[in-house]
Amino acid sequence: MTAYIIRRLLVMPIILFGVTLLIFAVLQTLDSTQRASLYVRDIPRNENQVAAIIRRYGLDDPLPVQYWHWLVGRRDPVTGEIVGGVLRGDLGYSQTGREPVVEVLKRRLPASVELAIWSAAPIIAIGIWLGIQAALHHNKPIDQAARVFAILGYSFPTFVFGLLMLLIFYAKLGWFAPGRLDTQFNLLVNRPAEFTQYTRMMTFDALLNLRFDIFLNALRHMVLPIITLSYLSWALLLKVTRSSMLEALRQDYVTTARAKGLAERVVINRHVLKNALIPVATIAGATVAGLLNGVVITETIFDLPGLGSAAANAARSLDLFTMSGYALFTAALFVSVNLVVDVLYGVLDPRVRLE
């Protein structure tokens, strides 16, 4: 198992290297003057300032040299300080966030992580459970209802379902509002003397501050985003789990296990589930990675200040540095999640470790 994990770890840097090449290639579609404007925090007063930025970051150097400077940094020929360098954590300046891109990611990440934590468990657990029940009751009313449920989930675009939730539960009933907190609580949490933000995740910070009223309010604001993400994800997990379970139930080893007189519960739990969950692990891993990465449409609809809404704002404003920083974060996240999924494959199916 250790050798299997080491092999997967060795692949990660190669993939990330390829991602950096692609992002750098996209930036090269702009000329040196246009790329210099990405480093400007205020409107330059004359062309000499633009030329100084080009010299500072070496934007007119040969492409291999530019890539190396963009990756590891470059010594300013005037001041002698090291500037730039993705590996140093310098992803550039965000024009939309009016701060370094790294700070934008740090500030926005907690909201996306919080939504992912509260959404992942119901998405994975209920989605897999629905798929299992549909397979075990194949062509029965439960299976038919599950298939209709999945088709409806596939048919609904995210923005339509999210807006429908807002129309019903906010505009009509007034139960669940968008945003992270009601106005009075939002003002309170921004007063350091009264509320300490340990993690910047409102539900967890509220518990750490023993403010259960803020916790309930923050959780109430997350109900509609969780329902939106869950319903649309359940449809996919249900279909994959159902088809995988049906395939496993038809295998000879299941027939043999039943012929030996094993209880149906033992056959399902010990022989069917372990094999059926292998493809499901891929979908579940991608779902969790997508949640951590920030769900663009959902965060935008429900006014959640996460990574997804930051990426949407950057895309609308052509903020290339923020978008490239988001792309790098996305690549690192998905590579890491795929590593976890690969290891999970090895746990579920020992044959995978020997390939």
Instruction: Please state the pTM of the whole predicted model.
Output: 0.83
Confidence at residue 208, expressed as pLDDT on a 0 to 100 scale: 92
Task: Identify the pLDDT of residue 147.
Answer: 83
Residue 200 DSSP class: S
For residues 255-283, give the mean pLDDT.
Answer: 80
The rounded distance, in Å, linking the Cα atoms of 150 and 154 is 6
Average pLDDT over residues 86-105: 86
The residue behind tokens 């000879």 is 252
Question: Given a cut of 70, is residue 350 above it in pLDDT?
Answer: no
Q: Write the DSSP symbol of residue 88.
A: G
Confidence class for position 47, pLDDT limits 50, 70, 90: low
Residue 161 is predicted with a pLDDT of: 87
Q: Is 123 exposed, middle or buried (0-12, 13-18, 19+ CB in 10 A)?
A: buried
Provide the 8-state DSSP code for 44: -
Between 306 and 347, residue with greater pLDDT: 306
pLDDT in tens, 133-154: 888 888 888 888 888 888 887 7
| pLDDT band with cut points at 50, 70 and 90 for residue 216 | very high
**CA-wise closest residue to 283 among 239, 327, 328, 223:** 239
Cβ neighbors of 244 (< 8 A, separation 6 or more) are 131, 276, 277, 278, 279, 280
Q: What is the mean pLDDT of residues 303-319?
A: 86
149-162 per-residue burial string, b: 16 or more CB within 10 A, e: under 16: bbeebeebebeebb
- Model confidence band, residue 349 (pLDDT cutoffs 50, 70, 90): low
- Name, in order, each residue with C-beta under 8 angstroms of 145's C-beta and a sequence gap of 6 or more: none
- Candidate from 6-10, 209-213, 351-355 with smallest mean pLDDT: 351-355
Mean pLDDT of the chain: 83
Query: Residue 209 has what pLDDT?
Result: 92
Q: What are phi and psi of 218, to 5 degrees?
A: -65, -40
Domains in the chain, ordered, with CATH? Answer: 13-94 (no CATH), 105-353 (1.10.3720.10)
Query: What distances in angstroms separate CA 141 from CA 135, 136, 146, 237, one per listed residue?
Result: 11, 11, 8, 19
Structure tokens given for 138 = 């194949």
Mean pLDDT (whole number) for 15-37:
84
Closest CA to 310 of 332, 329, 284: 329
DSSP state of 82: E
Q: Would you say residue 45 has pLDDT above 60?
A: no
Reported as a single tens digit per residue, the pLDDT across 230-261 is: 887 888 888 888 888 888 888 887 778 788 87
Q: What is the pLDDT of residue 353?
A: 57
Judge whether 81 and 68 are in contact, CB under 8 Å.
Answer: no
Between 293 and 225, where is the model more confident?
A: 225
Distance (Å) of CA 259 to CA 118, 248, 249, 272: 42, 16, 14, 15
- Predicted confidence at residue 339, as pLDDT, reads 81
Q: What is the DSSP letter of 87?
A: G
